[in-house]
Amino acid sequence: MKHLTTALLPLLMISSYASHAQNLKTVPLQENGTTTAYVSVPADVRCNVQIPDVPTAFCAGSGNRIYHLTAAFLQHPVDPQQYFNQLVQQLSAEAPEAKIVNQYRVPEITQHMANRDTQLVYKNGQQVVTYAIDIIDAETNEKSSAAFVISSLPNNGAPVTNVDIIGFTAPMSGSSDFSGVRSEMIRFARSYRFDRSWVQAANSQHIQFLNNQTAKNNAFTAQQNQIHQSNMNALDQSFNSYMERSAASDRAHSNYMNNSYASDSSHSSYIDSIYEREQMVDTSTGTRYEVEGYHDYNYVNPNDSSMYIQSNDHLYNPNVNLNQGENYNLLQPYNGNY
């Protein structure tokens, strides 16, 4: 076991013996001087120990019994089964003297940890699975059972992973049966409980964090809405200005067309005056005629435009004593209405 790398020691230093009715004591777990949780161990073991080459050792007692407890925090999500497989492969490659004889899941530990963690708000929605291995170390003549509790936390949309490693180590004692060490490892894991005061403080702190996040998100949303509204107002103003300019342009174009028409009409009248022509219309049919010479009265046969009469006599009536088929309509000056 001593030849293993420090990275793998938390996975290997776990062996055990079977214990029957035990006199247990409660040991506090502390973080930065604050009690966060408790575990139960036999009354005769010493805790918070430091054992060379065994950085995961938490408690130790007579007969080379060692209780192991450590944790790892990963700032990213992992596939639990794949992560466990990688640990097993790494262990087998770096510590050939430590033979893994069993791999299995431990639903009892999973259920206990999941129920325990429901007290903590920040762990809401987590997924928990527990894998375990049984190891025989020929070099130290020890047998071990180790559990890897892999918890996947949503963490407000930024998933993280927490790994608790819990184990128990004891001499082989001439038997390779793991029922005793496995039972003690499971008992030790299921004794893991949180301190109530710490839970309240942790929840209060996390709720404050969530409230701050909500306030920041609301402020950001309000700012974005304000920016959006300002942009929309600017677009509305720009559109209104465009419509006003467009209307002004339409009015200018209409005036231009009216002026152009008046100019064209004036120009045509001027040209007609030079050539002694008038633009006339038969108001009964809407037909326009160009009449040469200036006469007060101009008549045309609507059925035959080649038949026309011009006169300055207001008493003259071309429709008196007509031949069959003759009929004349009086033309009127054309003013653009036809």
The answer to whether residues 66 and 107 belong to one domain is yes
Instruction: Give me the pLDDT at residue 187, please.
Output: 98
Which spans in the chain are helix H? 9-12, 80-94, 107-117, 179-190, 196-274
Name, in order, each residue with C-beta under 8 angstroms of 160's C-beta and a sequence gap of 6 or more: 73, 74, 75, 76, 77, 153
Tell me the pLDDT of the chain averaged across its residues.
Answer: 84
The answer to whether residues 225 and 95 belong to one domain is no
Please, which pLDDT band fits residue 305 given cuts at 50, 70 and 90? confident
- Rounded CA-CA distance 227/303 in Å is 74
The answer to whether residues 182 and 140 belong to one domain is yes
- Rounded CA-CA distance 184/16 in Å is 7
Instruction: Give me the pLDDT at residue 338, please.
Output: 65
Instruction: Give me the pLDDT at residue 68, please.
Output: 95
> Looking at residue 100, which CATH number applies to its domain?
3.40.1000.10
The answer to whether residues 156 and 87 belong to one domain is yes
The answer to whether residues 240 and 286 belong to one domain is no
The answer to whether residues 41 and 163 belong to one domain is yes
pLDDT, tens only, 87-104: 999 888 888 888 999 999
Domain count, the chain: 3
> Do residues 4 and 12 touch, judged by C-beta distance below 8 A?
yes
> Closest by alpha carbon to 195, among 57, 31, 25?
31
Task: Quickly tell me which residue has 């180790």 as its tokens.
Answer: 146
The answer to whether residues 279 and 267 belong to one domain is no
The answer to whether residues 189 and 44 belong to one domain is yes
Q: How far from chain centre, in Å, is Cα 137?
A: 50
pLDDT exceeds 80 at position 22? no
Instruction: Give me the pLDDT at residue 89, please.
Output: 92
| Owning domain of residue 329 | 275-333
On whether residue 3 sits in a domain, the answer given is: no
The answer to whether residues 215 and 233 belong to one domain is yes
Q: What is the percent of the chain where pLDDT is above 90?
A: 41
The answer to whether residues 100 and 56 belong to one domain is yes
What angle (nearest 5°) sits at the alpha carbon of residue 173, between those of residues 170 and 179?
65
pLDDT, tens only, 251-304: 887 777 776 666 665 666 655 555 567 888 888 888 888 888 778 898 899 888
Instruction: Give me the pLDDT at residue 247, please.
Output: 84
pLDDT, tens only, 42-82: 999 999 999 888 888 899 998 889 999 999 999 999 999 99
Please, which pLDDT band fits residue 5 given cuts at 50, 70 and 90? very low
Mean pLDDT of 179-199: 96
